[in-house]
Amino acid sequence: MCMIAILPAGVALSKEQVLDIMLFADDGLGVMYCGSHGLVVGRKMLRNPMRVWQWLSSLPIEVERFIHFRRTTRGDTHRDNLHPFVFHNVRFGLMHNGTLPDSLVPFDLPDGISDTSYFVRRYLHRMPVAALTSTPFWDLVGAAAEDDRIVCLDGKTGVSYFTNRWGWYTGKHGIVISNNYAFKDEALWGVKKRKPVNVNWRSPLGERTLLDYSNEITKGAEKLTGQPTLDGVNHESSKTVVVAEPRQASNKKGDEASPEQR
């Protein structure tokens, strides 16, 4: 379980809010937003709340920013599993909150990859743009992903697509968060807290196979767009491409170096 925070233009997270989230999700973080030349993404294995706040404060405040705080559930805790995941030549970036059901993602994943990494490779890398920019397609993904929250940002148009909008909450200063349990202090967020969902919950509709949901997503996309999809796992790397990331003055213990430092 993780936390996604969407900051409107002109709004920043406070030090107290960063610390509050990281009491729950401190296995690294990532950001995405629309820059002058398209999608901009960055990921860091930071676990010091002050350094996280400093990095987030260095991002351009004049644009909407999407921030993902990871709490490892499936896959290893390393930089390659940090969100966002990008696809279609870095046009789209995706963040996910939840644990995808076994009907979508096999329980035993290879090489320590996460369920989100697999999902992007399996379903989205070769999906037609016409499907990825269709709200009904993301409604279909939301139904297949049960109660998980997913947001996909189109870096070309600036449009964002959501699954399960009922599970997103708007709090103080218009900050949108992807759940109401991954924080401690309700007053900081302006959202009433509830207990975590049961991650072992399964749909009362009964067990469904990976093939069933695979067909729903791929065939549904074909019906929506009139374009064929290429089924099968895309074996190309699903690592996020860091387009731009502020240079760090030093690389203290516990942080992963940015590309400029390597």
| Closest to 175 measured CA to CA, from 38, 55, 15, 17 | 17
Quote the pTM value: 0.80
Stretch 80-108: mean pLDDT: 94
Within 8 A by CB and 6+ apart from 52, the residues are: 18, 22, 29, 44, 46
pLDDT at 187: 96
pLDDT at 47: 93
Task: Say if CB 48 and CB 56 are below 8 A apart.
Answer: no
Query: What integer best gives the mean pLDDT of the chain?
Result: 83
Stretch 188-207: mean pLDDT: 63
| Whether the predicted pLDDT of 81 surpasses 70 | yes
Rounded CA gap, 86 and 162, in Å? Answer: 16
**What dotted CATH number matches 3-251?**
3.60.20
pLDDT band at 225 (very low <50, low <70, confident <90, very high): confident
Rounded CA gap, 251 and 247, in Å? Answer: 10
pLDDT at 213: 59
Q: How far is CA 203 from CA 55, 180, 214, in A?
A: 39, 21, 17
| Whether the predicted pLDDT of 240 surpasses 50 | no
| The two structure tokens encoding residue 254 | 């516990």
pLDDT at 226: 81
pLDDT at 227: 78
Stretch 137-154: mean pLDDT: 95
Task: Say if CB 6 and CB 66 are below 8 A apart.
Answer: yes
Q: What percent of the chain has pLDDT over 70?
A: 79
Most confident of 104-108, 109-113, 177-181: 177-181
pLDDT at 258: 37
| Whether the predicted pLDDT of 160 surpasses 80 | yes
Q: What percent of the chain has pLDDT over 90?
A: 65
| The two structure tokens encoding residue 242 | 């860091």
- Helix pair angle (210-225, 135-144), 10° resolution: 170
